[in-house]
Chain A
Amino acid sequence: MKTKYSFLCGLIALLAFSFMAFQTAPAAGEFAMIINRENTINALTASEAKLYYLRKLKKRWTEINKNIRPVDRKAPCAEQNAFYSKILSMSAADVEKYFTGKQLQNAERPPDKFATDSEVINFVASEPGAIGYVSVRSLTGENKEKVKVVLQF
């Protein structure tokens, strides 16, 4: 009887824990905008993030006197889709065309592209002017300490 009771309690606890975990885990496609820790900016609105990323507001971070270096993902992924649609309001083709046009017009450097979130985080951590986006799920533990989150979506 006691064993059955313990088993039932354990099962309920497991279910409750799973439910809570399910409730608090970020959904696929949730992303955060990250910048280098040296950058003195602490938060960006969605429209500011768009203008900085596209280098439309400024080409350099005046606070740290460094070129703005947008960072992108190599292949389509949930974070990229969400970032393009929610922040840039552009399709992947439009983003590609936009940066190619900028390269043609002013020799502007196109975004640095990486295959994984951890590569993006490592690059942003090492490059003072970088601005990128990663899945919220990738910003745990050591990774979170490497960069600064300025916007979460």
Chain B
Amino acid sequence: MKKKIILLLCILFEGISILRAQTILDNTQVRFFGNTGYFAEKDSSHHFTHTFDVGNIEMLLTSQVTDRISVLAEPVFSTNGVSIERLMISYFYSDYLKVSAGKLYSPVGIWNTRFYHHVKVLTPTINQPAIIAEPEEFGVLDNNDTGIQLSGENISKLRFGYKLLVGNGYANSTKYSDKTVTANLYIEPVDNLQFAVSGRTDNLAPGTVAPTGEVLREFNRINLFNASVMYYGGEKFEFASEFYRIGVSTPTTATRQLMSGFAYAGYRLNKFTPYVLYNKVNYDQNMGWFSVNNFTGSTLGIRYNFSALCVLKLEGQFLESDQFKKLNRIGVQWAIGF
């Protein structure tokens, strides 16, 4: 009799486990995004190069674990290996308060929080604007942070939203540095039209290694201010413009500044969208944490949407920087999601 009860309990437990596993599977979605391209470029010394580019494959895994708890994991597979772009666990208390923890995108600006970096199929241009681009594309800011974030949205008729992130910031590996605080406030008074302001402050302890390889000898404070506007997702016209001011100060030196801005505009004609992007990054001398590389870029492009998640982009880019003087480039990118 005892054996029969144990057997019955085992069967019951197994059944519940299978049902639970099935429920989790039903609530889990997996998507993949990838891109490939071709670039031909000529620099100011008339040196011509052209290359086929294999982008990354990004896996997006989301799961609604319970009615209020969700998980997002975003591993990126590239020729250099696998990296975890984001790993986020969220508790949704109400529209006005959600708590997320893990590795998140820094809530700075609108572009950075809307067009995620490896999902090229949803990004209007081939590359992100320089200030938020990847380092190999003359990028300046670190777009990820590990920490805890409070956020809320759809507050009042203006659809006010906020994000407040406390994270490791630039000093990811230095335990003596203070935590970074990033705040993002936005409104969407009209459908698809967003205004946002963001701020971020980093306090870096002596001993922290800057991306330039320089070891900081004294405390560095990095303050960022951003103002953004974007109209995107409407029927025809779309535009975005953002302004960044970053100040670096130490106890012994005056504040040195980095100013940057970009403007994007596009017009949808059925499946075609011609667009322009202009962006600029200006540094003061001896920025310490940032390696000085003044940059100006103008892009003329057109994208063709085969379907919602399959897009072909063709761009002519005219770039100038301290690093390579002038560079003219033609780029083609084919991006897909499935």
Contacts and interface: CB of A to CB of B under 8 A. Distances in A.
B87 to A, nearest CB: 11
A107 B68 CA distance: 12
B103 to A, nearest CB: 13
B300 interface: no
A108 B154 CA distance: 15
A109 B95 contact: no
B29 A109 contact: yes
A89 B236 CA distance: 12
Contacts of B183: none
Contact of A60 (B62, B88, B95, B113): B95
Contact of A59 (B60, B62, B95, B113): B95
A97 to B, nearest CB: 5
Nearest to B68: A67
Given A104-B116, A107-B70, A109-B62, A94 B308 contact: yes
A56 B98 CA distance: 15
Given A60-B94, A100-B308, A105 B27 contact: no
A109 B26 CA distance: 11
Classify chain A: how many residues form its interface, as a range.
20 to 34
Contacts of B119: 104
A86 interface: no
Given A66-B67, A97-B308, A97-B309, A103 B154 contact: no
Interface in B282-338: 305, 307-309, 337
B31 A100 contact: yes
Contacts of B113: 105
A96 interface: yes
Contacts of A66: 67
Contacts of A108: 62, 70
B264 interface: no
A144 interface: no
Interface string A60-93: 1000001100000000000000000000010011
B92 interface: yes
Contact of A104 (B92, B98, B122, B235): B122
A103 B114 contact: no
Contacts of B98: 106
A96 B60 contact: no
B236 to A, nearest CB: 12
A89 B191 CA distance: 12
A148 B29 CA distance: 28
A118 B41 CA distance: 56
B71 A100 contact: no
A101 B309 contact: no
Interface in B66-92: 67, 70-72, 88, 90, 92
Interface string B188-206: 0001000000000000000
Contacts of A58: 95, 154
B233 interface: yes
Counting from the closest, the 9 A-B pairs by CB-CB distance are A96-B308, A107-B72, A93-B308, A107-B62, A107-B70, A97-B308, A109-B64, A104-B116, A58-B95
Interface of B: 27, 29, 31, 60, 62-64, 67, 70-72, 88, 90, 92, 94-95, 98, 113-114, 116, 119, 122, 153-154, 159, 191, 233, 235, 305, 307-309, 337
Given A92-B308, A104-B60, A105-B116, 5 more contacts: A56-B191, A59-B153, A97-B308, A98-B233, A107-B90
